[in-house]
Structure 1
């Protein structure tokens, strides 16, 4: 089987390479074909993408629709070097660019990748899962952008730019129907006069049929119910003052995705991470199904998964709905003011977003209850940016101030009755928990973050060919955190702690143990005394960060069509706290900030009389104190922790090619290559460590998590005229993502996968209407972009969508 899999994988690579080669040799060029210029605002002013000395991948709104991009996570399908995965079923997507990412599932963890919607930051990735719609373009900026962007990040930025209002009346509607009875309806209306213009857009995604099938019963998961609205009004208050107000709303009541459990034995992991029930019936000689394969296992079918729909406490009799589903709501407002004062422009960007959710997820990939959770989150984010800018022709400059404040409250109700810490301890003979099994946990925390920054950016064209770029930013940030894992209503955690330490904890009491020997409430200082309950307390702490970051760049225009550039930039990401279930207070101590220094050189060349654009770059990252997963060794076991990796290095190269050999024929190719290495880290050895002894192992030389060595995207499309004012089009694309090692956690490793998509359409030559037939994941590839330990015991994979197909109709009015 393994040899067969390797052969199939090799054949897929050959096929995808052949498709890419065919796109590059399809026809000879003709003189009248020419690429359109792409305008970006990566440096907070309008520039040609070919004139900006940084690596940018830009996509138009039409490209996003054709590729089937519905959410921010889908951008990874278009962008070599960008991955989006998860390390747990908590509803928190994890973004990684060029191997720079933070593999933490906590809602409170800020991302290494900055995500901005119309210049307003979304600092927590849980807020970004709303629908992408009515989008002018998306810009993916790679590498630290240490001067112009508000929230500190190390990997880069993703900027979503909405379509803006126009004076002329216009309206449009796009409707799609596809596999699994999925309806996708999007529309807009815009218009105004020379003083006031408005635009209203909406999108709704509905599906009444699930795509995931239960491995053990007649049940399915995957229905969609999401709606988004956006309104923008632009006021030209005078010839020099412009005010744009916007509001958006997203409501998502869709099913969440379930995991698929598998045996880790064929992959060198062992059968499971920790034992759980009912696995004992298949693995223990006393089991009723001893020697058989558990029916919930699957390792090669993306549509097979399993999950738990409900849990009834054997102690309280209370029933919980824990079927994977979400009820998320995002409401936001923004004000964008521009005031031309002589030769300078004053810009104010104000943003406010409120996010609320209650969502259930199943970690363990089974009908049993090893690990399930309900997250209830309340999150408010406010930001204000003031900047002034000017341009004399030879000198372009920006200077500004930035302030942001956010408040988060998270309630994380965790169910674990079938785990080895719960009722699963009884058949597996784990006496520590068998007498007082832990069935439910209540983790609650609050976090407040306040950030202030001052920044400046200068581009000096000091000769006709040479341009110098300087940028700097100074940031001060304070983050306050308070949290604990409390005794849930069933009292099971309290029963365990009371039996173990002689305490008298009740439902609602903090159950996190003070294991700091320097504390007067250290558990072993108060055990056996009337003060023993004082050893269980809410952990509170504040971390403060103040740091400079910035960039230095030099561009050389070899000719008017060829730009050579070099850039050194420094970025940092502030530290934070562990929002996971906690056994001890030292598990909650903060991790430190990380710092990344980037060195990049590249070329942007317009070739073949404007028919080809070739951009290439190579880079080296010096990565210090990378924030990463680790193991916390405590007297109640080895549990999830977070730490800093002292030193890592990343070397890479990228190519982005756009070619129009003849009018109507477009060929795009993007390739990314990465070589990542941890150069210094003594990580905890979970196999050898047992409290009070922590054994560390030198893991220098391992690769970073979510860092595929190769990834590429190839696209070919052709459009040609028919009779009666009609236009025909055909397109196909292929994307490849290489395998990953999982870093220090081999259970997080993923296999390589290749996805093919195809489109066939017809429309009017004036663009008024268009019909498109499409198929995605054409070969029905079974692929999983994420894998991890499913909570406590099983190993799981999170599979991507199987093959889907459908039809899209678009009609535009006016304009």
Structure 2
């Protein structure tokens, strides 16, 4: 493909046939600019492109963006975003993302809030690298900005309906209009599917039904020539099935068959088993539709039955108010955001009909933010100065089921005496988190010479995060029975079951064991972390010509520390991790070629990454379980290339490619073999790659549109995306294989764009791929597969556009 590009650049006759590429206008720097005039790396996509690619949620944007991955490391309903190898592989709901996600300039600081439907979108902007001087929540990887279509003065309306595989029906519509004073827009989308796409390996059962609806209302008031107000209200209700995992034999990737034994694996691996030596039927490899899950669990102690079928009942309600007031040559902007998120969600970690690991998450989240900024633009000098404040509160109740694990009833056939007499069947993890952040920021762009522009940015942030949590004894009392037997305590349902293993504490377990105060060694862990930090940016742009922009930037960003929201056995496991800091050095070029028919952008970068937040092992009394830590030093090299080419009228070629070389240069990680509570032994793992860092990733799209007479037009398009394999970082079970996805479309519509009919196929070759893999809770290794081949038809009709 690149050979064809070079040949076209050298062919003088080609440019004469070329049409002009329409430049995308972005607001990456809080003001409207052409994407090619901004000295940062941006991938921008229109609403129509999102529709054609089948983007339903924020997670799906990764299909279109080289260098961006979205995965998970547990079945908790928390997507994990990574840009250019900068990500945080923590499944806790309370963890802040390294990638900032904004909807109409309002931050969604917790990724669990971002799974709502994407609809009626004007464009999406993916900004790569630290952007701390302009964006309120502290992140290190970059930002994803979703910009909604805004109200119009003239009447407009439209409807888009799709029907596809697995009886999936999508309906999206909007109506917009008003006058010179008031304009409004109302948009709605619903996705429904009555047929699942995952098939149980143990019974006649399917999983994957969809039931999600979202609505957004926008009112814009042009009060005067200089004063404007906008109010946005949105609501999302999602009662869809969740995805189930597929377990596999860990020997396939050079590990042991399992992380820990579990039942009913004993029937296949112990000599006394009825299927000794046979392959467990729940091991599924290379079949995206094959999976399994637990539908219900009945406690043998209380007799209570729980619905564990993977499904969600999520509700997001939010409001945004914006004021823009032109004061002379300046504009005062105030943006207020409030979002409330509630969910009750069940997930199956282990990928089986057994109950090694299943959970029910109940989450309540409230997020408030306020930004006030003053900006001005004289042509030679553009500047922004502002204040930012945010406050959020979270409560999470995490009910965990583990009856068939080695910590539970699985201990009996496998002969694990520590748990056999008093198996642990259920856990209740509860925590509260409150975060308050305040910042002052400034950004200046100065054209100090005809072709030179200097960009300076800075932000000072103070943030406080309060956390309190514990793994409590559930109603069945099984955790209490275990702790009482081991430590001589007298704990019952509702009591905290997290062991105080801090030697400096007066309630240290070994200080009170054998005394009447032994119960005091089991307590709620409370802590507060304070962060005060500057971040900044300096950039220099040089306009070699009207069509070539060269730029270089040095930027610094940080992401504040946090706490471990996983099931906890000891208080040391809950110690906070520190903030991470990233310094980026990037140079790039944005070039418009062939008389405006081609846009070719390139960038190369180096990241100095300090104290990266990462998964590690927590050494506890019951064994080595989920922990979090900081990686002292890492480095990332990379390069990206982005092409848009319109060689002749109607023929469009888009391509993007990203290359990454990541390395941990300093990290003594926990050695899981040598460590046993209370002694922790570390190992030098420097030299490994970072998790979710594919060496190569690329996308390419070719579309051709031509007229059929005077009234109709035909279109055909195909695209491909490739993501290289990943190592999983320090956890090889988190590694993924490379995969390639092909999509195709064939459309017919009116020349004026009023209507369109589109036939489409996604994952055309039915590639069985898994963007995520991990330990399935306690015992099995699992993979989370992507969607198999789907196909369908989309019809759209618009008025007034």
TM-score by length of 1: 0.97
- CA contact 1:99–1:706 (8 Å) conserved in 2: yes
Deviation of the 1:539 alpha carbon: 0.3
Please tell me whether residue 550 in structure 1 is matched to residue 536 in structure 2. Answer: yes
The C-alpha deviation readout for 1:544-569, integer Å capped at 9, x for no partner, is 00000010000000001000000000
Q: Which residue of 1 aligns with 2:437?
A: 451
Please tell me whether residue 522 in structure 1 is matched to residue 486 in structure 2. Answer: no
User: What pairs up with 1:322-361 in 2 under 5 angstroms?
Assistant: 322-361=308-347
Query: Which SS does the other structure have where 2:89 is aligned?
Result: coil
User: What pairs up with 1:517-596 in 2 under 5 angstroms?
Assistant: 517-596=503-582
- CA contact 2:18–2:647 (8 Å) conserved in 1: no
Q: Which residue of 2 aligns with 1:192?
A: 178
The C-alpha deviation readout for 1:212-259, integer Å capped at 9, x for no partner, is 000111100000000000000000011100000010000000000000
Deviation of the 1:694 alpha carbon: 2.0
Query: Which SS does the other structure have where 1:409 is aligned?
Result: strand
* Displaced runs of 4 or more, over 6 A: 16-27
For residues 568 and 762 of structure 2, the distance between their equivalents in structure 1, rounded to whole angstroms, comes to 42
Q: Which residue of 2 aligns with 1:795?
A: 781
Deviation of the 1:695 alpha carbon: 1.9
For residues 326 and 745 of structure 1, the distance between their equivalents in structure 2, rounded to whole angstroms, comes to 28
Q: Which moved more, 1:660-669 or 1:689-698?
A: 689-698
Q: Which residue of 2 aligns with 1:53?
A: 39
Q: Cα gap change, 1:22/1:304 in structure 2, threshold over 3 Å: closer, same or farther?
A: farther
Q: Cα gap change, 1:631/1:769 in structure 2, threshold over 3 Å: closer, same or farther?
A: same
For residues 360 and 636 of structure 1, the distance between their equivalents in structure 2, rounded to whole angstroms, comes to 25
For residues 527 and 696 of structure 1, the distance between their equivalents in structure 2, rounded to whole angstroms, comes to 28
Q: Cα gap change, 1:282/1:769 in structure 2, threshold over 3 Å: closer, same or farther?
A: same
Q: Which residue of 2 aligns with 1:414?
A: 400
For residues 416 and 81 of structure 1, the distance between their equivalents in structure 2, rounded to whole angstroms, comes to 37
- Alignment equivalent of 2:286, drawn from 276, 300, 308: 300
Deviation of the 1:299 alpha carbon: 1.0
- Alignment equivalent of 1:757, drawn from 724, 743, 749: 743
Query: Which SS does the other structure have where 2:318 is aligned?
Result: strand
For residues 23 and 527 of structure 1, the distance between their equivalents in structure 2, rounded to whole angstroms, comes to 79
For residues 75 and 471 of structure 1, the distance between their equivalents in structure 2, rounded to whole angstroms, comes to 28
- CA contact 1:503–1:532 (8 Å) conserved in 2: yes
Please tell me whether residue 671 in structure 1 is matched to residue 651 in structure 2. Answer: no
- CA contact 2:18–2:595 (8 Å) conserved in 1: no
Deviation of the 1:721 alpha carbon: 0.4
- Alignment equivalent of 2:261, drawn from 275, 283, 286: 275
Deviation of the 1:687 alpha carbon: 1.5
Please tell me whether residue 464 in structure 1 is matched to residue 470 in structure 2. Answer: no
- Alignment equivalent of 2:488, drawn from 497, 502, 520: 502
- CA contact 1:23–1:667 (8 Å) conserved in 2: no
Q: Which residue of 2 aligns with 1:475?
A: 461
Q: Which residue of 2 aligns with 1:97?
A: 83
Please tell me whether residue 615 in structure 1 is matched to residue 584 in structure 2. Answer: no
Q: Which residue of 1 aligns with 2:768?
A: 782
Query: Which SS does the other structure have where 2:483 is aligned?
Result: helix
Q: Cα gap change, 1:25/1:498 in structure 2, threshold over 3 Å: closer, same or farther?
A: farther
Please list every run of 5 or more consecutive structure 2 residues that lacks an aligned counterpart in the other structure.
none
- CA contact 1:363–1:371 (8 Å) conserved in 2: yes
Deviation of the 1:183 alpha carbon: 0.1
For residues 480 and 713 of structure 2, the distance between their equivalents in structure 1, rounded to whole angstroms, comes to 70
Query: Which SS does the other structure have where 2:303 is aligned?
Result: coil
- Alignment equivalent of 1:129, drawn from 110, 115, 123: 115
Deviation of the 1:146 alpha carbon: 1.8
The C-alpha deviation readout for 1:655-701, integer Å capped at 9, x for no partner, is 00000001111000100000000000011110121123322111110
For residues 71 and 522 of structure 1, the distance between their equivalents in structure 2, rounded to whole angstroms, comes to 46
For residues 784 and 593 of structure 1, the distance between their equivalents in structure 2, rounded to whole angstroms, comes to 30
For residues 24 and 313 of structure 1, the distance between their equivalents in structure 2, rounded to whole angstroms, comes to 70
Please tell me whether residue 35 in structure 1 is matched to residue 18 in structure 2. Answer: no
User: What pairs up with 1:591-670 in 2 under 5 angstroms?
Assistant: 591-670=577-656
Query: Which SS does the other structure have where 2:17 is aligned?
Result: coil
Deviation of the 1:20 alpha carbon: 11
Please tell me whether residue 73 in structure 1 is matched to residue 74 in structure 2. Answer: no
Q: Cα gap change, 1:25/1:529 in structure 2, threshold over 3 Å: closer, same or farther?
A: farther
- Alignment equivalent of 1:370, drawn from 349, 352, 356: 356
Q: Which residue of 1 aligns with 2:232?
A: 246
Please tell me whether residue 733 in structure 1 is matched to residue 707 in structure 2. Answer: no
Query: Which SS does the other structure have where 1:452 is aligned?
Result: strand
Deviation of the 1:609 alpha carbon: 0.3
Deviation of the 1:633 alpha carbon: 1.3
Q: Which residue of 1 aligns with 2:733?
A: 747
- CA contact 1:214–1:304 (8 Å) conserved in 2: yes
- CA contact 1:24–1:667 (8 Å) conserved in 2: no
Deviation of the 1:343 alpha carbon: 0.8
For residues 564 and 577 of structure 1, the distance between their equivalents in structure 2, rounded to whole angstroms, comes to 42
Query: Pairwise CA RMSD of aligned residues?
Result: 1.5
- CA contact 1:30–1:661 (8 Å) conserved in 2: no
For residues 18 and 248 of structure 1, the distance between their equivalents in structure 2, rounded to whole angstroms, comes to 47
For residues 541 and 10 of structure 2, the distance between their equivalents in structure 1, rounded to whole angstroms, comes to 32
Please tell me whether residue 382 in structure 1 is matched to residue 368 in structure 2. Answer: yes
For residues 482 and 516 of structure 1, the distance between their equivalents in structure 2, rounded to whole angstroms, comes to 16
Please tell me whether residue 680 in structure 1 is matched to residue 666 in structure 2. Answer: yes
- CA contact 1:23–1:716 (8 Å) conserved in 2: no
The C-alpha deviation readout for 1:516-540, integer Å capped at 9, x for no partner, is 1111100111111110000000000
Please list every run of 5 or more consecutive structure 1 residues that lacks an aligned counterpart in the other structure.
1-15
For residues 444 and 206 of structure 2, the distance between their equivalents in structure 1, rounded to whole angstroms, comes to 56
For residues 679 and 384 of structure 2, the distance between their equivalents in structure 1, rounded to whole angstroms, comes to 54
- Alignment equivalent of 1:434, drawn from 415, 420, 427: 420
- CA contact 1:675–1:709 (8 Å) conserved in 2: yes
Deviation of the 1:270 alpha carbon: 1.0
Query: Which SS does the other structure have where 2:573 is aligned?
Result: helix
Deviation of the 1:266 alpha carbon: 2.0
Deviation of the 1:17 alpha carbon: 9.9
The C-alpha deviation readout for 1:749-790, integer Å capped at 9, x for no partner, is 000000000000000000000000000000000000000000
Query: Which SS does the other structure have where 1:782 is aligned?
Result: coil
Query: Which SS does the other structure have where 1:495 is aligned?
Result: helix
Q: Which residue of 2 aligns with 1:223?
A: 209
Deviation of the 1:724 alpha carbon: 4.2
- CA contact 1:477–1:546 (8 Å) conserved in 2: yes
Q: Cα gap change, 1:604/1:21 in structure 2, threshold over 3 Å: closer, same or farther?
A: closer
Deviation of the 1:31 alpha carbon: 3.1
- CA contact 2:444–2:455 (8 Å) conserved in 1: yes
The C-alpha deviation readout for 1:115-150, integer Å capped at 9, x for no partner, is 000000000000000000000000000000020000
For residues 433 and 18 of structure 1, the distance between their equivalents in structure 2, rounded to whole angstroms, comes to 64
Query: Which SS does the other structure have where 1:126 is aligned?
Result: helix
Q: Which residue of 2 aligns with 1:310?
A: 296
For residues 673 and 782 of structure 2, the distance between their equivalents in structure 1, rounded to whole angstroms, comes to 20
Q: Which moved more, 1:720-729 or 1:440-449?
A: 720-729
Query: Which SS does the other structure have where 1:380 is aligned?
Result: strand
Count of aligned pairs between the two proteins: 800
- CA contact 1:339–1:347 (8 Å) conserved in 2: yes
For residues 146 and 534 of structure 1, the distance between their equivalents in structure 2, rounded to whole angstroms, comes to 43
User: What pairs up with 1:141-290 in 2 under 5 angstroms?
Assistant: 141-290=127-276
TM-score by length of 2: 0.99
Deviation of the 1:155 alpha carbon: 0.1
